[in-house]
Structure formats: structure tokens, C-alpha cells
Amino acid sequence: MNAPRRLPVVVTRRFERALEAILDHYECLQHLHPDAGSLALRLIDLVERDLPRILATHPGIGRPAQLCLTGSTAERNWLLRLAPLSSRRRLQAREWLLGEFWILYYRTASAVYLASVRHEREADYH
């Protein structure tokens, strides 16, 4: 039996910025909630160890992402730039709840692109 095909998982700069924002947020909360650091460490562990491994072999996990143009100007501009790419490359926007965090990613036939991350209680992706 053949092993499942493993797609490369590409971390975008947008994903890195969203991850940094979440980590900064938890760092600011540590003086109020000493356990906030453990959530940040859990997120780092998920992103470094579990996320690439799982998405490489199961890129269809999660659900189709519900993206809308009601966010910020930067969000609208990002989605408008993404539209032609999605039709040309057949990008599939998907989101997956991993622990307490929603992971936004795009799947193509040849790769998985990590696009953003947010806490499950946040309304929009960064």
C-alpha cells in the first residue's frame, strides 16, 4: 500500500504576523493571568510540531473557510488580492480548529499555505 502523498506546508508572512500578535497578547496578559504563558507555549508547540505534520498528509481537514469583506481595510484588500489567485491556482480556503486556535490555510494541488491564526474567541483573522 502506498503512503499518502505529503504536500509541502508553507508558512506565509501573514501567518507569522498573526502568530506574533497572539504571542504578544499572551505575554501582555501574564501579569494578570500567570497561566497565559502556557497557552502561548501550547500554540507554539502546535504550530511547530503538529500542524505541518497533519496538514501535509491531510490537507482537507477542517472546513471551508467563511471569509467575508466586513473586516478591516487591510482584510478587504487581502481578500481582493486573493480572489484572482484562487481562481487561477484553484486555492481552497479552509479553517481548522486546533486546540483553542483557528488555523486559516489555503490548499492547492501542490502545497498547503498557512495564512492566519486566531483564538477561537476572536471574531476575525489578523
In whole angstroms, what is the distance from residue 9 CA to residue 54 CA?
10
Q: In this predicted model, what pLDDT tens digit does every residue of 34-88 receive, in sequence order?
A: 777 787 788 888 888 889 999 999 998 989 886 655 556 766 676 666 666 656 5
Domains and CATH numbers, the chain: 9-119 (3.30.2310.20)
Q: Rounded to the nearest 5 degrees, what angle is found at the Cα of 41, between the Cα atoms of 24 and 113?
A: 80
In whole angstroms, what is the distance from residue 39 CA to residue 53 CA?
20
In whole angstroms, what is the distance from residue 2 CA to residue 115 CA?
30
pLDDT for residue 108:
84
Q: Are 87 and 66 in contact (CB under 8 A)?
A: no
- Say what the pTM is: 0.77
Cα Rg of the chain (Å, integer): 15
Q: In this predicted model, what pLDDT tens digit does every residue of 25-36 receive, in sequence order?
A: 888 877 787 777
Return the half-sphere exposure (C-beta side, CA atoms, 13 A cut-off) of residue 61.
16
